[in-house]
Amino acid sequence: MARVLVEHGEIVKLAQLLGVARKTVREALSGQTNTPLACKIRKLALARGGVFKPTQNPTQL
């Protein structure tokens, strides 16, 4: 799954805005989870300036 890259300190801000743990935000942004909450976190991160980064498939390198 793709990742969403955010600026330093943004994970803490996202966690505070949504009332969730920083770990929850980190897992959502790294693509480890794909729940409705994770989708909401990624959408908010992108709206706040995050950058979508598709994962590279090692077999395609």
Domains (ranges, CATH) in the chain? 3-60 (1.10.260)
Q: In 3-state terms, what secondary structure has residue 12? A: helix
**pLDDT tens digit sequence for 8-59:** 999 999 999 999 999 999 999 999 999 999 999 999 999 999 999 987 766 6
Of 47, 42, 58, 33, which Cα lies nearest the Cα of 4? 42
Please return the burial class of 41, using the count of CB atoms within 10 Å of its CB with bins 0-12, 13-18 and 19+.
Answer: buried
Largest CA distance in the chain: 39
Query: The pTM is what?
Result: 0.86
Q: With left for phi above 0 and alpha for psi between -120 and 50, is residue 7 left, alpha or beta?
A: beta
